[in-house]
Structure 1
Amino acid sequence: MNKIIFLDVDGTIVDYENHIPDSARQAIRKARENGHLVYVCTGRSKAEMPDEIWNIGFDGMIGGNGSYVEHKDQVLKHQVIPYETAKRAVDWLESRGLEYYLESNNGLFASRNFLEVARPTLRTYALGKGASEDQVLHMEVEDAFPGLIHGGNLYRDDLNKISFILHSYQNHLDSKEAFPELKAGTWGGRGEEALFGDLGVKDINKGHAVDVILHHLHADRANTIAVGDAKVDIPMLQSCQIGVAMGNGGPEILAVADLITDDVGQDGLYKAFEKLNLL
């Protein structure tokens, strides 16, 4: 029976330096050759999907942690942050001196000083995910965010999500209070150790987006598999028949997974596909 497979990107298909293991490419391509459908299911917006990833070959995309759903170039769903709310969020971040980037399918738009401020933050993030000191020594922001746009229009009506560098965990708590109409979250660390805050469309997650694709395909949930590494991936795993956690995953997702594979850099995706008889 052919399967429908949903894959997180960062920490699942690519490592935390944005490199794709050859084994991951092979696994995805072979699974599709065998008739399985494979979708990326990511917090990234479409503009954050460089050709190096997209050209592996996929049947569609869930982006913005569920705000965007695409099947074979057909947009099934796209919810964005309303313009007035997005404008108010930008003004709020600017007034507090918080550097940020705006995530849309049309590009990633950085605040004035994001490049400089984000460099040490992203290196800390990579170290926390298992990268070595040598690996992050020359890591630049563009390595994590290829195509980042500087000097672009920051008042936008096409935003899936807004991410910002936390000065402290209180910034996240304040954003949650300031924007109750949005979903406020954090990433890059557990709880008060988080490095980033984010604001996105409320009442969506990766699991809801999986349901959109299954409804469109008239497909049976019994044939679904999800693979991820982070807390934000848990709804995706819980929406699928089989949930796989990468070995580099956090404790929350490891606790709910049906199967735990190896780290992303140790052919974890390929080994999971092999064990599940997808190859």
Structure 2
Amino acid sequence: MPERSSTPKIAFLDVDGTILDHGRRIAPSTVRAIREARAAGHLVYLCTGRAAGHIPESVLEIGFDGAVTNGGAFAMVGDVLVHGETMPREELDALLAHFEEHDLHYLLQTNRRVYASARTRAAIQEHLAAARADKPEPQTSPQAGFSAEPIEDAPLDEIAKAVFFTEEAGAVERARQEFGERFHIVRGSMPLPGGSDGEIGLRGTTKGAAIDKVLEHLGLDRADAIGIGDSWNDVEMFEVCGVGVAMGNAAPELQELADEVTSTVLENGIFDAFARHGLVRADASSRS
């Protein structure tokens, strides 16, 4: 077992499927690992596709040194904004026309808020209710009370990211064919049996690009960074960080793109990865 590292490292952690069991639970060992690593002098950052205002309080109260949000559109070092970009209106208008033409449900994200139509909000609640029905254990889910602002109130000059979903297959590939040279489009992680969902940001707007901004601001090297995630928007994070770690619950194809695979989100995945790289002590008592 490796000893705790005396060289400060910086860890970037995805939220859903990495810290949170997709909105339901957080492993106690995850909380301990993050707090122990920070107490030892390492830096721990959130690195999520969520808007900053939609990160659950149960996650934020763990304590972090900063955050990359909206899939890389924004990055905070402490309370300092070191990176921020939004979609030009002509690009956003093209996306909105595509969503409407193909009758897709969609959400728009600003730095802090999420906007959706009443129809889309109802569809999300339906999917969440179905997911909860498959999980009979008591729910304390931050997503159980999901809410979004009315789409009519969306400030269209401040949109950083779009998310879309449909019960039909092939929507992500269709969007890539139409917009592949203009946008960064990846498969999402919403549970939609038989359907498809995706995330769209500007071309070049990725978690990896935002991590580079954070590292530059802090004067740290990529070799000092560890990125841990389970979604397709984590690929560029894996590429930028010195070590890219896929969660055990990630898709097998995604695991193949990481340097390592840790255990699953509720089976001490973050703790095991931190222990392997010396951010925490690898004793069993801290793991439970």
What is the TM-score of this pair, normalised by structure 2? 0.83
1:93 offset after TM fit, Å? Answer: 2.3
Pairwise CA RMSD: 2.9
Instruction: Label 1:3 to 1:80 Cα distance change in 2 as closer, same or farther (>3 A).
Output: same
Taking only the aligned residue pairs, the percentage that are identical comes to 31
Counterpart position of 1:161 = 161
Partners in 1 of 2:88 and 2:144 — Cα distance?
27
1:132 offset after TM fit, Å? Answer: 8.0
Pick one of 29, 34, 40 that aligns with 2:40. Answer: 34
Q: Secondary structure at the match of 1:266?
A: coil
Partners in 1 of 2:208 and 2:268 — Cα distance?
25
1:177 offset after TM fit, Å? Answer: 4.7
Counterpart position of 1:212 = 213
1:210 offset after TM fit, Å? Answer: 1.5
Is 1:90–1:155's contact at 8 Å kept on the other side of the alignment? Answer: no
1:68 offset after TM fit, Å? Answer: 1.0
Is 1:90–1:154's contact at 8 Å kept on the other side of the alignment? Answer: no
Partners in 1 of 2:50 and 2:176 — Cα distance?
21
Counterpart position of 1:197 = 198
Partners in 2 of 1:204 and 1:144 — Cα distance?
29
Larger RCO of the pair (alpha carbons < 8 Å, separation 6+)? 2
Is 1:61–1:70's contact at 8 Å kept on the other side of the alignment? Answer: yes
1:114 offset after TM fit, Å? Answer: 1.2
1:4 offset after TM fit, Å? Answer: 0.9
Partners in 1 of 2:266 and 2:98 — Cα distance?
39
TM alignment of 1:87-236, pairs within 5 A: 87-122=93-128, 133-135=134-136, 143=143, 146-150=146-150, 152-154=152-154, 156-179=156-179, 180-188=181-189, 195-236=196-237
Partners in 2 of 1:91 and 1:138 — Cα distance?
37
Code of the aligned partner of 2:143: D
Counterpart position of 1:55 = 61
Is 1:50–1:146's contact at 8 Å kept on the other side of the alignment? Answer: no
Counterpart position of 2:4 = none
Whether 1:8 aligns to 2:14 is yes
Whether 1:17 aligns to 2:23 is yes
What per-residue deviation string (whole Å, max 9, x for no partner) do you get for residues 153-175 of structure 1? 13521112111122423433443
Whether 1:71 aligns to 2:77 is yes
How many residues are treated as equivalent by the alignment? 272
Is 2:10–2:43's contact at 8 Å kept on the other side of the alignment? Answer: yes
Code of the aligned partner of 1:66: G
Q: Gaps (5+ residues) in structure 2?
A: 1-6, 281-288
Whether 1:44 aligns to 2:50 is yes
Q: Secondary structure at the match of 1:265?
A: coil
Counterpart position of 2:286 = none
TM alignment of 1:238-257, pairs within 5 A: 238-257=239-258
Code of the aligned partner of 1:186: R
Q: Secondary structure at the match of 2:135?
A: helix
Code of the aligned partner of 1:172: V
Q: Gaps (5+ residues) in structure 1?
A: none
Is 1:21–1:265's contact at 8 Å kept on the other side of the alignment? Answer: yes
Code of the aligned partner of 1:226: G
Code of the aligned partner of 2:86: V
Is 2:171–2:197's contact at 8 Å kept on the other side of the alignment? Answer: no
1:269 offset after TM fit, Å? Answer: 1.1
Q: Once structures 1 and 2 are overlaid, which stretch shifts more, 44-53 or 90-99?
A: 90-99
Partners in 1 of 2:58 and 2:111 — Cα distance?
17
Code of the aligned partner of 1:214: L
1:27 offset after TM fit, Å? Answer: 0.9
What is the TM-score of this pair, normalised by structure 1? 0.85
Code of the aligned partner of 1:199: I
Partners in 2 of 1:221 and 1:138 — Cα distance?
38
Is 1:101–1:164's contact at 8 Å kept on the other side of the alignment? Answer: yes
- The structure with the greater share of residues assigned to helix is 1
Q: Secondary structure at the match of 1:76?
A: strand
